[in-house]
Structure 1
Amino acid sequence: MDTLRTKALELILTSDPDQKSALTRAVPLNLPIHAEQEFPEPTGIPGRPALPVLVGHTELKKRSMATPEGRAALIHSLAHIELNAIDLALDVVWRFDGMPDDFYGQWMGVAREEALHFQLLRDHLIQLGFSYGQFPAHNALWEMAERTKHDVLARIALVPRTLEARGLDASPPIRRKLIDAGDHRAGEILSIILRDEIGHVAVGNHWYRYLCDVTDRHIGSIL
C-alpha cells in the first residue's frame, strides 16, 4: 500500500527531472502516513540525470547578463536549486520517522511547490532555446543533506532555516537583475518562488521550534 512516506522514497529515487517534478506534484496529500515506519537507506539517493555535470561551486564561471546564454545560465542554476529542493523535501518525508502526521503532510506540500518552481524555470529555459542539464551545476545543497541525514533537528535548522532563508535575501536582487536585462517572465517566476519560499521557511521555523521543545536542544547545540 502506498503511503506518503513510501511515495516520497519512490520519487527521490526517480532520476528523470521531468518525471520527478510531475509525479511529485501529483501526490495526494491524503495518503496514509505510517510515521513510525523505518526504512533502510537504499542506494541511488537522490536519483539524478546524467546531466548537468556536477562541479565544485567555485568552478562555475560567471556569465554576463548582457547575453542570452548568460541569462539562461542563471535561470539554469535556479532550476537546479529547485530540483535539489524537491529532493530535500522528499528526503525529510521518507527519512525521519516518529514525527507528527502534519510534519509529513507539510513537507510533501513543500516538495510539490518546489516541483512547480522547477517546471516553471525549466519551461522558461526551453522558451529561451536552452534546456535543463545544458550548463554545469554544483552539489552543495545535497551535500548539506548528507551532513544532516542522521539528525532531523540539524536538517531543519540548516536547510529550510538557513539555506532557504538565505535564498529569500538573494531572490529580489536576482529578480531585478533579470528584469533589468529584459526577462520579465523570469521576474514573474521569481515572484512566485519568493512567495512560496517565505512559506517554506515558516514551515521550517515551526518544526524547528517543535523539535527544540521536545528534545531540549537548539541550533547552538548542533553546530
Structure 2
Amino acid sequence: MSESIARAIRSALLERDPRTKVMAARKVARDWRLGRLAFAFDVSMPDVPGRPDAPELLPPNRMPKRGKGGSQRGRIALWHSLAHIEFVAIDLALDIVGRFGGEMGEPFVSDFLSVAADEAMHFALIERHLHTLGSHYGDLPAHNGLWDAAYETRHDVAARLAVVPMVLEARGLDVTPATLERVRNAGDETGAKILSRILDDEIRHVSFGAKHFVERAETLNEPVNGLWKSLVSRHFRGLPKPPFNDSARLAAGLSRDLYAGVA
C-alpha cells in the first residue's frame, strides 16, 4: 500500500536539518509526480515545523540592521536573509498541501508540491553561495514573520492563499529586481543568476496562489477582489506597500485593481 501524501509531507515538515529538509521536500514532490503517494490526508500537520538550532529566531523589531550592502558583512547578511526566506518557503508550500490538499484536489497538490521542490532548490543554491562568502545558514539571527502568517491562516485556505502567495510572495516580485541589480553591480554574477532564476520561479508560484484563490472564491460564490481585500485586512498586519512590480504581478495573475486600492 502506498504511503499517504499527508504522512510524507508531515515527515518532511518535521525535519530539523536544512539539507535533510531540502532532500525530503524534493522527494515528496518527485514521489507524488511518479504516483508513489496516495491522495489521502490521514494525519494532521504540525503547528510548528522542524527548525534547526540555528539561526536564532527573533521578533522582526529585534533584528539587527543589515549594514551597508557593499561590505562583506552586508553581503553575507543579505544572502543569509534570502536563505531564511527560502527555507521557510519550503515549509509554507508543504504545509498548504498537507493542510488543505484534501479539500482543494489533486491539481492544487501538484502545483504546490512543485513550489516546495523549487523552494528547496532555491535554498540549496543560496546556501552554496553563502559558503563562497565564508558563511552558512544559521550564522546570523532571523525572524519568524513568514511562519507567523502561515499559523494565522491555518484554518482557512482562502486566507492562506490571500496572504502568503498573494501578499508575501508577491512582495518578492516587487523587491527582487532592485536586489538583483545591486548584486550584479557589485560584480556578483553568480548571485545575479540565482536571483534571476528565483524571480522567474516566483512569478509562477504567485500565479498558482492567484489561480487557486479565484477557484476558491468561485466555490464560495464571493467576488474575488472583495474576498481578497477582506481576508488581507483580517489576517495581514499592515498593508501591501508600493512600489509594485506591475508587470511581474500581472504575469502572475494579479491585476493592479486588486491591490492598488489596498496600498
Instruction: Give the one of 121, 127, 150 matched to 1:122.
Output: 127
Q: CA deviation at 1:87?
A: 0.4
Q: Counterparts of 1:195 and 1:89 in 2: how far apart (Å)? A: 17
> Which residue number corresponds to residue 229 of structure 2?
220
> Which residue number corresponds to residue 56 of structure 1?
59
Q: CA deviation at 1:178?
A: 1.4
> Which residue number corresponds to residue 114 of structure 2?
109
The residue type equivalent to 1:6 in the other structure is R
Cα deviation code 1:140-167 (max 9, x no counterpart): 0000001000000000111001110111
> Which residue number corresponds to residue 23 of structure 2?
22
Q: CA deviation at 1:41?
A: 4.3
Q: Counterparts of 1:211 and 1:131 in 2: how far apart (Å)? A: 40
Instruction: Give the one of 147, 163, 185 matched to 2:168.
Output: 163
The yes-or-no answer on 1:82 pairing with 2:86 is: yes
Q: Counterparts of 1:92 and 1:31 in 2: how far apart (Å)? A: 20
Mapping 1:187-198, distance limit 5 Å = 187-198=192-203
The yes-or-no answer on 1:4 pairing with 2:31 is: no
Cα deviation code 1:122-154 (max 9, x no counterpart): 000011110100011111000000100000000
Q: Counterparts of 1:71 and 1:142 in 2: how far apart (Å)? A: 24
Q: Counterparts of 1:100 and 1:33 in 2: how far apart (Å)? A: 12
Q: Counterparts of 1:132 and 1:212 in 2: how far apart (Å)? A: 38
Comparing 118-127 and 213-222, the one that deviates more: 213-222
Provide closer, same or farther for how the CA distance between residues 13 and 160 of structure 1 changes in structure 2, counting only shifts above 3 A: same
Contact 2:45 2:98 in 1 (8 A): no
The residue type equivalent to 1:156 in the other structure is L
Q: CA deviation at 1:184?
A: 1.5
Structure 2: gaps (5+ residues): 235-263
Contact 2:76 2:133 in 1 (8 A): yes
Q: Counterparts of 1:215 and 1:75 in 2: how far apart (Å)? A: 41
Structure 1: gaps (5+ residues): none
The residue type equivalent to 1:7 in the other structure is A
Tell me: higher relative CO, structure 1 or 2? Use CA pairs within 8 A at least 6 residues apart.
1
Q: Counterparts of 1:82 and 1:38 in 2: how far apart (Å)? A: 28
Contact 1:21 1:116 in 2 (8 A): yes
> Which residue number corresponds to residue 143 of structure 1?
148
> Which residue number corresponds to residue 177 of structure 2?
172
Q: Secondary structure at the match of 2:143?
A: coil
- Runs of 4+ in structure 1 deviating by more than 4 angstroms, as ranges, are none
Contact 2:87 2:119 in 1 (8 A): yes
**TM-score, normalised by the number of residues in structure 1:** 0.94
Q: CA deviation at 1:176?
A: 1.1
